[in-house]
Amino acid sequence: MKTIKLTKMHGCGNDFVIIDYHEYEKAGMKMDELAKKVCDRHFGVGADGMIIPNCEQHDKTADISWYFYNSDGSTAQMCGNGMRCFAKYAYDNKLINKKSFSVQTLAGIIKPELLDNGLIKVNMGKPILEDKKIPFWGERKINVIDREFDITPVSMGNPHCVIITEDDPMELALKYGPAIEKHEYFPEKTNTEFVKIKSRMEIDMRVYERGCGITLACGTGACASVVACVLNNLTENKVKVNLLGGPVFVEWQGSKDDTNQDIFLIGSANYSFFADYLL
């Protein structure tokens, strides 16, 4: 039997198992297999995803990189809540010696910053709205089960389908999220956000995540939702996003006429526990 050390963290309830690279090597398993094992909520630790820091193999333009896996063993290009947890973990464990640094991800270089108030601000880069780069092949209306929805497809390095609604976002996520995730419009599947406008500075959002299902929070989903709201002239450029696990703040100075602006995600990252895990 083998034992590895791991750390459990969460951002607004979106939870992750973080494993140092040398501990991963001790496990003697492929990363996707390890992710499915430790993320299992019945037979493992339980998490929405697994993160493994990589201090050695990364582009010279970045300070560090990561390996990120969903609970089903699939990889994800980016995860905003996971990035906040990763940033705090990397700094606290002296993998990085500065509070503002760059991380190489499958979505490109992401720049988190640990703020003096304990929150983490992440430059999530520029939203991608070009259909073929999302990727998205379809119309701005989607038919699933017994409903037709107006949609705004957005990529934050990973694909999102944002739906503005006056109905209960959670009920819609539970009923329609699985079908939209695998809809033919999205060749790489999609995360789906159901958004209810509370004011021009506040929205409620519920998400069905690609490869995870219903989660308490989704950072890239919060960003994609605000982009969609701004493009549809429903909110201002700084918005409080109420997720099932708590609030985050999203800032985007973009508009219909200028989408080439970075988007910033601000929120908490918290430790749950440290453990020796028996494989």
What are the boundaries of each domain within the chain?
3-120+269-278, 131-261
Identical fold, 3-120+269-278 and 131-261: yes
Mean pLDDT for all residues in the chain: 96
Structure-model confidence comparison of residues 77 and 234, the more confident one: 234
Taking the C-alpha atoms of residue 237 and residue 211, their distance in angstroms, rounded to an integer, is 30
pLDDT of amino acid 56 = 78
Whether the predicted pLDDT of 58 surpasses 90: no
pLDDT of amino acid 232 = 96
Whether the predicted pLDDT of 57 surpasses 80: no
Q: Residue 175, SS3?
A: helix
Could you tell me the CATH superfamily of domain 3-120+269-278? Diaminopimelate Epimerase; Chain A, domain 1 (3.10.310.10)
pLDDT of amino acid 60 = 78
Which residues are part of the catalytic machinery?
Answer: 79, 218
pLDDT of amino acid 40 = 97
Alpha helices per DSSP H over the chain: 21-27, 31-39, 80-92, 169-181, 219-231
Percent of the chain exceeding pLDDT 70 equals: 99
Q: Is 69 exposed, middle or buried (0-12, 13-18, 19+ CB in 10 A)?
A: buried
Kindly report, residue by residue over 176-203, the tens digit of the pLDDT.
Answer: 999 999 999 999 999 999 999 999 999 9
Kindly report, residue by residue over 22-39, the tens digit of the pLDDT.
Answer: 999 999 999 999 999 999
Whether the predicted pLDDT of 59 surpasses 80: no
Give the helix/strand (H/E) hosting 41.
Answer: none
Whether the predicted pLDDT of 141 surpasses 90: yes
Could you tell me the CATH superfamily of domain 131-261? Diaminopimelate Epimerase; Chain A, domain 1 (3.10.310.10)
Instruction: Tokens for 83, please give them.
Output: 């990035």
pLDDT of amino acid 204 = 98
Whether the predicted pLDDT of 10 surpasses 80: yes
Confidence of residue 1 (pLDDT cuts 50, 70, 90): confident
Confirm if 26 and 4 have CB atoms less than 8 A apart. yes
pLDDT of amino acid 55 = 84
Taking the C-alpha atoms of residue 113 and residue 103, their distance in angstroms, rounded to an integer, is 11
Kindly report, residue by residue over 64-121, the tens digit of the pLDDT.
Answer: 999 999 999 999 889 999 999 999 999 999 999 999 999 999 999 999 999 999 999 9
Phi/psi at 25 (5° precision): -60, -35
